[in-house]
Amino acid sequence: MIYIILQLIIIIGLAPLMNGIIRKIKAISQKRKGASVFQMYYDISKLMRKDMVVSDTASWIYTAAPYVVFGSTVAAALLVPVCATEGWLNSAFMGGDALVFLYTLALGRFFLMLAGLDTGSTFGGMGSSREGLISSLLEPSMLIGLFTLGLASGSLSISRMMAESTAKAVPVLNPAYIVIFIVMIIVLLAETCRIPVDDPATHLELTMVHEAMILEYSGRQLALMELAASVKQLIIMTLIVNMFFPITFALPAGAAGVALAILLYAARVMLLSVLIGIVEVCTVKLRFFSVPNLAAIAFILALFGFVNYFVLGR
């Protein structure tokens, strides 16, 4: 129980920081000072206190969507232990079943896409339509990736996969894992609307995806939507760091161990966000209709990873 509460606090608490770090990296690359890494915390707390403007076309779906999206995303977060230690892994919700994870996220996405259509605005529909394409193109790659990792650990449970990774010395050097790692990075970039797929910093209607769907939201509803998006980003990052870069040395027992594990976790996800920031700086945004190529690459790589698992050893 204590782990579940810790998990909730860590995931929700750390999630906005990742966006801050990525923005900071981009600012530095542009020789700007940039906003503080904590800017998103200020934004959210400000939005929480603001009044809302609700479209008069909107129905209850629009009002319910932020809560459903946030609730289901956080529920998915409970399936992904932040630290691969015994206690965390055992307390993962339902053993962290990978399929439940995927389909719980799908619940949030379903309502997010509906919310985009609810206000009758063109932008919302545009965003939903694009989100639908991107997410469905990447779903098979993510599934094959998780299946392959699951085969290595003999179970589709995310905790077992993490335990297996921890048992391997440097899992990312394993032939199956290294390919799946690339797949997961592509999934991360696409699912969280990062640069080669979508530019989160822009509000230009030709390019937006996630921003278009939540364009009509304001106040606390917007805050929940933004927070849910950053939580989703952090869960996929958590998956990546714990699957491919686990802590392989033994941690001290007791509270000190837990604290150390959390610190190490925070350090690793921050490093990963720096990496994502660098990727965002170095790549250009793809044309929307080139995204399928990226998805195809991810799919082929995922299949390669799967075959590697059988051919080159486990």
Partner 1 sequence: MNLSVTDHLFTLAIIMFFAGACFGLLFCKKHRAANTLSNLFCMAGSAMGTISVVFHLLKGGGPVTVLNSVPGIPNFSLQLKYDNLSAYFLLVLFILTFAVSLYSIGYISHYYGKRNVGIFNFLYCTFILSMMMVMLAGNLLTFFIAWELMSVVSYFLVVFEHERSENVKAGTVYIIMTHLGAALIMIAFMIMNVLTGETSIIGNGAFFTALPEAAKNACFLLLLVGFGTKAGIIPFHIWLPKAHPAASSNISALMSGFMIKTAIYGIVRFIICGFGGIKTWWGMTILILGIVAAVLGVAYALMEHNIKRLLAFHSIENIGIIFIGLGMGMIAYSKEYYPIAAVAIAAALFHTLNHALFKGGLFLGAGAIQYATHTRDIEQLGGLIKKMPVTAVFVLCFSLAISAIVPFNGFVSEWLTYQSIFAFIPKGSLCINMISIIAAAALAFAGALAAVCFVKLFGISFLGLPRSEHAGEAKEVPPTMLGGMGILAALCLVAGLFPKIILNLLDKVLIETAALKIYPNLSGGTVPVFSGLTVSGNKMSMIAILAVILALIAATVPAVRIIGGKADSRKYGTWDCGFVEINERMQYTATGFSKPIRIVFRILFRPSRTLAVKGEHPKYYPDKMEYKVGTVSVFEKYFYDVIIRGLHRFSQRVKLSVQTGSIHMYLSYILVTVLALMLYSRLF
Residues 77-96 binding partner 1 (CB under 8 A) are 78, 93-95
**Restricting to residues 29-48, which ones interact with partner 1 according to CB under 8 A?**
45, 48
Q: Interface with partner 1 includes 174 (CB under 8 A)?
A: no
SS3 per-residue string spanning 255-304: HHHHHHHHHHHHHHHHHHHHHHHHHHHHCCCCCHHHHHHHHHHHHHHHHH
The distance of closest approach from Cβ of residue 74 to partner 1 in the complex, given in angstroms and rounded to an integer, is 5
157/155 Cα distance (integer angstroms): 5
The distance of closest approach from Cβ of residue 278 to partner 1 in the complex, given in angstroms and rounded to an integer, is 29
Structure tokens at 96: 């962290």
Q: How many residues bind partner 1 (CB under 8 A)?
A: 86
**258 vs 241, 262, 312, CA distance in Å?**
17, 6, 36
Which residue from 5, 9, 28, 99 is in contact with partner 1, where contact means CB under 8 A? 99
**Restricting to residues 211-270, which ones interact with partner 1 according to CB under 8 A?**
215-216, 219-220, 223-224
Candidate segments 106-114, 168-176, 231-239, 274-282, binder of partner 1 by CB under 8 A: 106-114
293/137 Cα distance (integer angstroms): 10
Instruction: Return the CA Rg of the chain.
Output: 19
Q: Interface with partner 1 includes 299 (CB under 8 A)?
A: yes
65/71 Cα distance (integer angstroms): 10
**Restricting to residues 120-159, which ones interact with partner 1 according to CB under 8 A?**
120-126, 128-130, 132-133, 135-137, 139-144, 147, 150-151, 154-157
x/- map, 202-221, partner 1, by CB under 8 A? -------------xx--xx-
Q: Interface with partner 1 includes 288 (CB under 8 A)?
A: yes
The distance of closest approach from Cβ of residue 239 to partner 1 in the complex, given in angstroms and rounded to an integer, is 16
Q: Interface with partner 1 includes 308 (CB under 8 A)?
A: no
Cα dihedral: 81, 84, 90, 92 (round 10): 10
CA angle 175, 177, 180 (to 5 degrees): 115
Q: Interface with partner 1 includes 14 (CB under 8 A)?
A: no
The distance of closest approach from Cβ of residue 248 to partner 1 in the complex, given in angstroms and rounded to an integer, is 24
